[in-house]
Amino acid sequence: MEPNSNANGHSPNDPGSPWGTTRQVTEAVGTSESSLLRCRKDGTLRAGIHYYLSGDKGSIRWSLPRVRLALRARTAKANGEEAPEIYDEREAALIASKRAEVVISGG
């Protein structure tokens, strides 16, 4: 695995990587750069979860899936709705296995 690769073996510059530049993420989610940076400033998007700083110039790499989920939750909250339940793959598998145990045991 490359030194800067994620758990799936993708480096942030690979086309299959969930990490992207500000431009890539704004195009993918259909928002402006200023909106994305405003979400960073107001705490909707947090360092180490939704983005990290890369290199000496301080360029930002964003987690596209996590940014999408955070924006969905923010939109739901703004509309007075409950935030969608959000699980990563590991959490979803754990929940599914616990539900299966309940069904099998008859509980």
- Predicted TM-score (pTM) of this structure: 0.63
Residue keyed to tokens 């909250």: 77
Q: What is the 3-state secondary structure (H, E, C) of 51-96?
A: EEEECCCCEEEEEHHHHHHHHHHHHHHHCCCCCCCCCCHHHHHHHH
Tens of pLDDT, residue by residue over 41-97, are 999 999 999 999 987 777 899 999 999 989 988 888 888 887 666 666 666 667 677
* Contacts (Cβ under 8 Å, ≥6 apart) of 103: none
| 9-38 per-position pLDDT tens digit | 445 455 557 899 999 999 999 999 999 999
Alpha-carbon gap, residue 25 to 20, rounded angstroms: 6
**β-strand partners of 47:** 51
Architecture of domain 19-105: Orthogonal Bundle (1.10)
Residue 36 or 104, more confident: 36
